[in-house]
Amino acid sequence: MPNDADITLDAPSQGSDSSSSTLLYLVQAQDPQAWQRLVDLYAPLIYRWCRRCNLQADDAADVAQEVFGAVFANVGQFRKDQPGATFRGWIWRIAQNKIRDHFRRREGRTEAEGGTAARGVLAQVAAAEPDERDEAIEEDDRKLLAHLGLNAVHARFADSTWQAFWRIAVGGETPADVADDLGLSLRAVYQAKYRVLNTIRRELDDLL
């Protein structure tokens, strides 16, 4: 069955893109609404990373807050044009450091609480670079981020536009069948798919 990870972005139309419209640019410009959108986009993924590293729910929420604090303080330093640079990988490295810090604090408070187990998890976290993690986990993360990205733009489109996009790009239906079922012209269906994909690419591509 098709899923969110099957979506591919259309190639950019020449002259259609503006870096000033991307969510990353707005976050780096310290736009409050853009920052909240970034938190909404990445909070579930960061929380999942923390839980995978055996943090309890409350601790995972606290560490996620620390991650966002570090992101807020340093996001201006992220450069997407560096070789191999991805925003997800950049945040994962910050999360790694904060998770390590959590286990160091816990180990320092008491040897009885966690003790050897805490050191073992700390070593596991230290060894897990983004490109070395399990391929299935990486795919799972990409699916979650794609799903969150879709949710981030869903409310901005009319229902017929979203249905046309979803049924073609995700459901794999033919544009002709979708147009006939929704009572739209074939041109309108293609435009609907383009509008949604172009919005995702223009605003979120740097972050996804």
> Domain extents for the chain?
4-156
Q: Average pLDDT for residues 41-54, to the nearest whole number?
A: 92
Q: What is the pLDDT of residue 81?
A: 76
**Cα atoms in the 13 Å half-sphere on the side-chain side of 62:** 9
pLDDT band at 129 (very low <50, low <70, confident <90, very high): very low
Sign of CA dihedral 57, 59, 65, 71: negative
Looking at residue 52, its amino acid is R
Q: Does CATH place domain 4-156 in 1.10.1740.10?
A: yes
Inform me whether the pLDDT recorded for 67 exceeds 60: yes
**Three-state secondary structure call for residue 129:** coil
Dihedrals phi, psi of 58, to nearest 5 degrees: -65, -40
Q: What is the pLDDT of residue 21?
A: 61
Of the candidates 89, 88, 95, which has an alpha carbon nearest to the alpha carbon of residue 125?
Answer: 95
Which H helix or E strand runs over 75?
A: none
Greatest alpha-carbon pair distance for the chain in Å reads 68
pLDDT in tens, 182-194: 999 999 999 999 9
Sign of CA dihedral 73, 79, 80, 83: negative
Inform me whether the pLDDT recorded for 66 exceeds 70: yes
40: which 2 tokens?
A: 């909404």
Q: Could you give the C-alpha distances from 45 to 70, 74, 168, in angstroms and in order?
A: 16, 19, 27
Q: Average pLDDT for residues 107-114, to the nearest whole number?
A: 59
Give the chain's mean pLDDT: 80
Q: Average pLDDT for residues 46-73, to the nearest whole number?
A: 93
pLDDT in tens, 165-184: 999 998 999 999 999 999 99
Q: What is the pLDDT of residue 162?
A: 95
Q: Which range, 6-20, 57-71, 114-128, 143-157, is most confident? A: 57-71
Q: Average pLDDT for residues 49-60, to the nearest whole number?
A: 91
Residues 149 and 177: beta-carbon distance below 8 Å: no
Inform me whether the pLDDT recorded for 86 exceeds 90: no
Please, where are the H alpha helices in the chain? 23-28, 32-52, 57-74, 87-109, 116-127, 135-154, 159-165, 175-182, 186-204
Number of H helices, E strands in the chain: 9, 0
Q: Average pLDDT for residues 131-148, to the nearest whole number?
A: 77
Higher pLDDT, 12 or 52: 52
Q: What is the pLDDT of residue 64?
A: 95
144: which 2 tokens?
A: 């979650």
